[in-house]
Structure 1
C-alpha cells in the first residue's frame, strides 16, 4: 500500500506520523513548499519524497496519487492529528470488495482537536453533499483509501481545498460504494494552515461549495 502525505512545514509531526506507517507500506511525503526542513527530514526517516511547487492541498494530494504505484492508495494528513496505522482496516474493506472508497469519520479526542468553526463548516458541507449525491456521510475528512486506477479514472481537477470533496462527489456520481469508519482525531502538531482560523475555514468552504455547484462529470466506472 502507498500512503500519500501532503506536507507543508510539518517537521514537528513527521517523526510521529512516519513511525506509524504500517510495516511494508510506503509513505509518500509530498512537500508543498516547506521552509522548515520537512522534505529532508522525511527523506532521512525513509519516506519517498515528492515535490509539488503549486500551493494547494489538492495539488499535493494529486501529485502523490500520480507518484503512487500500489493497487490501493491511502491519504492521510501529515500533522499528527490522524494515526496512519488506522488505515489498515480501510484498505481491508477495499481489498475485500466491500467498499470502493473508505473515509475516516473523525472523532475529536481532547480539547482543541477540532475547532468549533471547522466542525460547523464540515457539517454544513456534509448536508450539502447529501442533497447533491444522496450520500449520508458525517465527515469529509482527509483520511481515506481507494484503488489507484479507479481514483485516476475520476478525472479530479480541483487543486485546492475542494479536492477531497470532489473525490467523494465524483465517486458518488460513478456509483461507488462509499463507507465511513470512525477514527480518533487528535490535536495537531503546530498551527493549521486551513481549519486553524476562520479565514482558512472560509476559504476551504468556498472551494468546496464550488465543487458542489459543478455539473456531474463523466467518469470511468471501473473499480
Structure 2
C-alpha cells in the first residue's frame, strides 16, 4: 500500500481543523497540520483529532507548506504521495481517495481537485475567486496549452516529483507555481471533479480586499514570469 501523508496549512481554523483531520481516511500514514501563527485553539484541536502539529511563525500559505515538506523530508521514511488540503472544511476530506486514485491506478504524477460549478455549494466561492481562477487558467491555456480549469487547494502529487519542482513561493502563489512547474517539466497531470462547500470562518485571502488583490498579483506574476522563460 502506498504511503500517503497529508499537509494542512492552518491559521485560526480552530472551529474546523478537527473536522478536517477526523474525516481524512484512516489509511493515511500521517496528517501534518502546520500552524501559521494561530491565536485560537487550532493547535489543541488538531492534536486532539490525531494530527502531528508543527509551527511556522512566518505568515504565508507557502511558508506553511514548505515547513510541512521540510518536516517530512527529515523523517527516516519518506512517503510515496503528498496530499494538500485546506483547514477550513470547504473541501470534503473523505474525497482524498478520489484525488490519489489516478496516481495509484494510472501512474499520474499530479492531481488537482477541480471545484466544478455543478458540485459547488452556492456561495462557496466568491465572485473574485471564480474570476481569478478563470483568468489564471485561461492564461495558462494561452501560454502553456494547459488543460487546468482550477487552482484548487485539494491536490495530490508523487513525493519524488514534488521534490523536483523545488517549490519557492511563500504566500498565495503556491498553488499556481506548482501547476506551472508541472507544465514546464512536462509531468503528467489530471483534474478530478470534487465537491466544495462554504468554509467555516472567514478566508484570509478572498475574505479581505488586501488578500484578494495580493493573491491576484502573485498568481498573475508567476504566470507571466514563466511565459517569458
Instruction: Decide which of 28, 33, 43 is 2:37's aligned counterpart.
Output: 33
Q: Shift of residue 76 of structure 1?
A: 0.5
3-state DSSP of counterpart to 2:225: coil
3-state DSSP of counterpart to 2:33: strand
Superposed, 1:26-175 pairs within 5 Å as 26-68=30-72, 69-107=78-116, 109-175=120-186
CA shift digits 1:12-54 (9 cap, x unpaired): 0012111111012121100000000211221122101111111
TM norm structure 1? 0.92
Q: Shift of residue 215 of structure 1?
A: 4.1
CA shift digits 1:63-92 (9 cap, x unpaired): 212223311000001100001211112212
CA–CA distance in 2 between the matches of 1:111 and 1:148?
34
More helix by share: 2
CA RMSD of aligned residues (A): 1.7
3-state DSSP of counterpart to 1:145: strand
Q: Does 2:2 align with 1:2?
A: no
Q: Shift of residue 132 of structure 1?
A: 2.5
Instruction: Decide which of 209, 212, 226 is 1:201's aligned counterpart.
Output: 212
CA–CA distance in 2 between the matches of 1:181 and 1:6?
22
3-state DSSP of counterpart to 1:87: helix
Q: Shift of residue 217 of structure 1?
A: 11
Partners of 2:176 and 2:219 within 8 A in 1: yes
- Structure 1 residues 130 and 187: alpha-carbon distance in aligned structure 2, compared to 1, 3 A threshold: same
TM norm structure 2? 0.90
3-state DSSP of counterpart to 2:128: helix
- Structure 1 residues 217 and 125: alpha-carbon distance in aligned structure 2, compared to 1, 3 A threshold: closer
CA–CA distance in 1 between the matches of 2:220 and 2:146?
16
Superposed, 1:180-219 pairs within 5 Å as 180-215=191-226
Q: Shift of residue 188 of structure 1?
A: 0.1
CA–CA distance in 2 between the matches of 1:70 and 1:217?
34
CA–CA distance in 2 between the matches of 1:217 and 1:118?
25
Gapped regions of structure 1 (runs ≥ 5): 219-223
Gapped regions of structure 2 (runs ≥ 5): 73-77
- Structure 1 residues 109 and 175: alpha-carbon distance in aligned structure 2, compared to 1, 3 A threshold: closer
Partners of 2:180 and 2:226 within 8 A in 1: no
